[in-house]
Structure 1
Amino acid sequence: MSLPAAVRARRIGLNTAAVLFCAVWIFPVYWMVNTAFKPYGDILKPTPGFLPFPFSLSNFDDAVHKSGFLTDLANSAVVTCSVVLLAIVVAFLAASALTRFRFFGRRSFLVGVLIVQMVPTPALLIPIFLSLKSAHMLNSLFGLTLTYLALVLPFTIWVLRGFLQGIPVELEEAAMVDGASRMRIIRTILLPLVLPGVIATSVFAFITAWNDYLFAYVLMKDQSHYTLPVWLVSFSTSAGTDYGGLIAASTLFALPVVVFFMLIQRRLVAGMTAGAVKD
């Protein structure tokens, strides 16, 4: 049965608007990748081409062989992976306690978490700097990891708390009646059901830790402890800016986030009902 003309026109209009929105949103990303594959002399032309012809990998070669790339890449990978793992574990335990136990100060704790989430990140820079200085953790990857962990925990706790609140307590009680231990309940019931929340918070934690420049630059004084966002700034010097290398480096810098999301996004829906199936 064919749809009425008004319905078809409305659907076509909505689809067209969605395509235009996506095209506008993706265009800066396309232009960055397109520019990264152009020879340096073509980047600054008044009328740059819409396609990367002639095709060149020289910008990527300059970026990869830039001083400090491998060291800063390793620092970013270590810090980011540590933040993601710690944030998931700590936030899951905190959210479980907030949803499954009643204790004095629980509401005050939730309000405090919300207030911390609302504080602008730059406003925390000086307090965190002084705290790490007094703890002798300045210029250390461990201190930077704790800083990022503190930045992402309020959001991750709130998100996982919302997922855990939607899980009936009766599921856990039934498992306990069947003789399941607390760890088995967490592993086979709670974790599969909150997997979408875990994935969402892990993406947020990954992006926050991977993209940060401000804290990495202020808290790290030794260049061997810099992360990739700080490394990107090295393409701009007093002699000028290496636009080709900078854009190619930015493209390489964005790849891990895209790969990370592609690896876990298909499990977002799979975790919705996996924990409800009794093994």
Structure 2
Amino acid sequence: MRIRIISATVGIPIVLLAIWLELPGIAALTVLAGLVGGFELDRMMRPGTSRTGSSRIVSLVMGPALLASIAAWMVSDGRLSGDQMPIFLAIVFALAVLVRGTATLGRSSSDRNPNEWVYWVFAAYVGLALAHAPVLVSLDSGRELILLAILTTFAVDSVALFVGVSIGRHRLAPSISPKKSWEGAVGGVVGGVIAAIAIDAAFDIPFSVVTAGILGAVLGVTGVVGDLYESWIKRRADVKDSGTLIPGHGGILDRLDSVIPDLAVVYWATVWSSL
């Protein structure tokens, strides 16, 4: 527990500094997260060995960071708006699938993990979700919106853990994450509703109480699903943590599993509510 607290004491100021710097800070943090997350994914594809394929390094490691970099550049250059985002994401996803296919051509079947496609899909998902961070912070009240996503996710995780430990009896997904319960998940969603309404009021974000409450519930569900998705990937790779970057917490993907899908949810909720 002490190590976890020390890690949080170091990490939280870094995140807050990045948010305060807005686009430059969030873009740098997002690209770094993409790079580290890509390395963690590459290691999970080939556990127990130091060998790495150059094509896989380029697509898995650089892929998430590249998507985040492109989003940051397009925002800073005035090339990206909410109306253009769906087209941008469709193009990027198509390119990610193309890279995944071409990167495995010519490799012998003995050199492949038969389930490796799940890592490529997860890499595309991580990159697309991370790409929303620099776009989100560039909206009106961008810093407050980033904080809404992060703090609500933290509230969901904390309440879900507390409720699950206290009264959790029915396992949510025992084959993926045995410690998670339906009671904890429901408690997390309720915590997300309360947190989103409170944060919206405290930061004067232009959501109505009803909209903030619905958003909090959606963030709760999305956060739980994101957590389970990353846990499923780790189960496929037969590893406990995605990495060892953050002492007491695991890898960067372990810390971002619930946050990154919630960043996308807050972005789209903001864009749609302003239409």
The answer to whether TM tops 0.5 is no
TM (normalized to structure 2)? Answer: 0.29
- TM-score, with length taken from structure 1: 0.28
Rg (Cα) greater in structure: 1
Question: Which of structures 1 and 2 has the larger relative contact order (alpha carbons within 8 angstroms, sep 6+)?
Answer: 1
